[in-house]
Amino acid sequence: MSSYPFAPDFERTVAAMLATSESFYNRVGVHLDPARFKDERAQEIAAAAADLYARVNRAPGSDAVVLQALYAKHTSGKLHARKMAACADYLCDALDRGLPDAEVAIAQVADVLRRDGQQAVLDRAFSAFAQQESMIDVARELEKVESIGKADASFGVGLDGFGDELDSLGRIERMPIGFREIDVEMGGGMARGEFGFWLAGTKVGKSMALVGNAAIGMMRGLHVAVATLELDVHKWRARLLGTVTGTPYQDILDYGSRSVAFERYRSIKDDPEFSMGRLSIQKFGGHQTTLPSIIDWVRREEDRHGQKVELLVIDYADKLVGKDVRDGDYTQMRDVYEGIRLWAHDTAAWAWSASQAQRVAMGEMPTINSCADSHHKVRVADLMVGLTRCPDEENKVKAKVLALRNGSGDGAESSLLPNGFDYGCFVQNVAFGVEENEALTDDEGDAIEGGSGLGIFA
């Protein structure tokens, strides 16, 4: 059989990703034949990964695991020391050069594998036609070929050992969403590894809600990445600083470094008993930026600061475009929202965004039927929270859980609250008691244990 049509540098990359990326292996690696690699070092690495997958029903996911497998093969007399060292150098060189985004590499390899498979199916079809055989099996084979790169070949799990797995995970970590009544109903907020979005009409407070999410993350000591496609960076930072320090954000913009906000911020940041998180924020072009571009930026920020991003806030996702701009909003938003959810799940981080509600009058709470383009968002996200503003009630706001994939709290709603616009976020999220909140009961305190340190639960 002929070798794969991979360029030498790309073949090195493929071998390294077989060793290090479970998603890459599960989607395309299972279809690769180690013997078809041109370079013998790539063949050895691919074979070691395939052997591990066959023995433990799981992709290696680590270069150290594959290098250990090669070492074991050497100690058993099946691999010469020089060849083992050459494989290690080959793999390390690929890692030093840097690996591409998994989705990009998967697409390239899947294209090669599908062409191979389509040719084999075509040959089979001609043979079946000549011999007047049924084409049903041919159609099934073609369906399998077309699923390469899309279907995940990871193995399922059973109930045996499930309790130990849960014990090893520990208690589910939750982050408050910023409305006390809802956070209590949800047992503390949204769980780590989940994606939530706010649904609201124009000028109700989508960006304000997202500023609150970012502030809560920072006050919990997290590295927070904000991709803004709505407000400019100066306004976003002023609102966030106003939220964290309890300072009207317009004062920050008007007075600059003379604003009391910076003194308050330094006081919080220098407090040895408090750990202020890190902010990375970047402006992106609306209706021209894809989610992979934002994720690439997040990875660069992680590398630059040497700290994982644990909260991604996108203001807001409706302004992103899908993989193919020729697709309608229905398909594009499915790709965008599913992509955000997968990022949160795969990185065990939190993700928040917002969506524009349509056909909602001022003062009316949105429903799951108010999404601008489709129900994809409702089905994809882990949490959807509606917002409404009530101008007749001193311009107060209210929130309600419209859809919840996991846990309790579906349908939970807040009381009417002042919107806190001067501080850039909802008033319950302002740090230094713009509004005095009622003391929590013991049960409520247990539900939101490990809260943000903001005035929300003071």
Q: Give the pLDDT of residue 399.
A: 94
Give the confidence band of 427 by pLDDT, cuts at 50, 70, 90: low
Least Cα distance to 335 among 383, 384, 377 occurs for: 377
Q: Give the pLDDT of residue 169.
A: 58
User: Which tokens belong to 251?
Assistant: 């004062």
Task: Please check whether residue 288 lies inside any domain of the structure.
Answer: yes
Give the confidence band of 94 by pLDDT, cuts at 50, 70, 90: very high
Residue 256, domain extent: 174-457
Q: Give the pLDDT of residue 326.
A: 67
Give the residue from 103, 130, 146 where a domain finishes: 146
395 and 353 fall within a common domain: yes
Average pLDDT, the chain: 84
Determine contact, residues 107/149, Cβ cutoff 8 Å.
yes
127 and 18 fall within a common domain: yes
Least Cα distance to 448 among 437, 435, 432 occurs for: 437
Task: Please check whether residue 157 lies inside any domain of the structure.
Answer: no
- Looking at the structure of the chain, the number of domains it has is 2
247 and 328 fall within a common domain: yes
276 and 422 fall within a common domain: yes
Q: Give the pLDDT of residue 19.
A: 94
Task: Please check whether residue 349 lies inside any domain of the structure.
Answer: yes
User: Which tokens belong to 353?
Assistant: 């965004």
> What CATH number should be reported for the domain holding residue 178?
3.40.50.300
> What CATH number should be reported for the domain holding residue 141?
1.10.860
pLDDT tens per residue, range 183-233: 999 999 999 999 999 999 888 889 999 999 999 999 899 999 999 998 899
- Percentage of the chain modeled with pLDDT above 70: 88
Task: Please check whether residue 152 lies inside any domain of the structure.
Answer: no
Q: Give the pLDDT of residue 202.
A: 86
pLDDT tens per residue, range 262-274: 998 988 888 887 7
Least Cα distance to 103 among 285, 296, 250 occurs for: 296
**How many of the other CB atoms lie within 10 Å of CB of 307?**
14
Q: Where are the beta strands (DSSP E) in 139-285?
A: 174-175, 190-191, 195-200, 223-228, 278-283
Q: Give the pLDDT of residue 453.
A: 30
Residue 437, pLDDT > 70, answer: no
pLDDT tens per residue, range 267-315: 888 888 778 899 999 999 988 899 999 999 999 999 999 999 999 999 9
Task: Please check whether residue 153 lies inside any domain of the structure.
Answer: no
Task: Please check whether residue 351 lies inside any domain of the structure.
Answer: yes
Q: Compare 158 and 265 and report the one with higher pLDDT.
A: 265
Determine contact, residues 350/312, Cβ cutoff 8 Å.
yes
Task: Please check whether residue 2 lies inside any domain of the structure.
Answer: no
280 and 418 fall within a common domain: yes
Q: Which residue has the tokens 């302004």?
A: 319
User: Which tokens belong to 363?
Assistant: 């003062």
Give the residue from 146, 161, 186 where a domain finishes: 146
Q: Where are the beta strands (DSSP E) in 64-173?
A: none
Q: Which long-range contacts (CB under 8 A, 24 or more apart) does 302-310 make?
A: 302/223, 305/223, 305/278, 305/280, 307/223, 307/278, 308/223, 308/347, 308/349, 309/223, 309/224, 309/225, 309/280, 309/347, 309/349, 310/192, 310/217, 310/222, 310/223, 310/224, 310/349, 310/350
